Amino acid sequence: MPRIFIAIPLPPDLAQKAAALVPDHPALRRVDPALLHFTLAFVGSLPEERVADVAEAVTAAGNGARAFRMSLDEVGRFPPSGLPRVIWAGSGDPAAGSRLVELGAAVRAELARRSVPFDAKPLLPHVTLARVRDGATRDDAQAIRGSLAVVRVPAGLGFDAQVVHVMESVLGPKGPRYSTRAEIALREQRGEDRPPAA
C-alpha cells in the first residue's frame, strides 16, 4: 500500500538555501534538499484505490484557498528543551503561518469527510532540515544547541505557496524517496496577498 502525505514542497533553489542553514555536526543527519516540504497532513499507508479520495479531498480544500507568500526566517529544534531530535526552519510571520494552518485544517476536514484516516496531531508549520542521530550524547546536544543559537537566516528566503502535492513516500535503506501522485493548484493571489515589488 502506498504511504501518503500532503505537502507543499520547497522550490529547489530555496531548498538548497534552507539546507545550508543546518550547522555542521556529526550527530546531525541532514535531509536531502529535494525532500524539503511543509506537511499539511500525514495519511500513512492507504489502499491504492483510496489515493483518489485523498486527491479529491485536497482539491476540495484548495478550491476555498488562495495562494500565499510563505517565508523562512527562523531555525529551531524539537523538542525545545532537552535532547534535540529535529532541526527545523519555519516562518516567524504569524499571517503566513496561520494561512498554512488554515489550509491544513481545510485539508484535514475534507479527509475526515471522506473517512480517510490521517495523523491528527496539531499542525506546527515547519520544514524538517535535519534529524539528530540515535546515540547522540549530552555533549552533542550542547554543541547542537550552541550552533543553532548563532544561525542567522538571510533575509528574503520565501516563496509563493501555489500548489499542494499529494505525495507518496517509499522508505529505503538510504532514506525515503518521494513522488508526486497529484498536484492541486490554489487560486491566484489577490493584490493584497502579493509581496511588494522589490
Give residue limits of the domains in the chain: 3-190
The CATH T-level fold of domain 3-190 is Cyclic Phosphodiesterase; Chain: A, (3.90.1140)
Q: Can you tell me the distance from the alpha carbon of 189 to that of 198, in angstroms, rounded to the nearest whole number?
A: 17
pTM: 0.91
Q: What is the pLDDT of residues 63-103, one digit of tens each?
A: 989 999 999 999 999 998 888 999 999 998 888 889 999 99
Answer yes or no: are the C-beta atoms of 124 and 104 closer than 8 Å: no
* Low-confidence residues in the chain, pLDDT < 50: 196-198
pLDDT, residue 198, reads 41
Handedness of CA 51, 96, 35, 79 (dihedral sign): negative
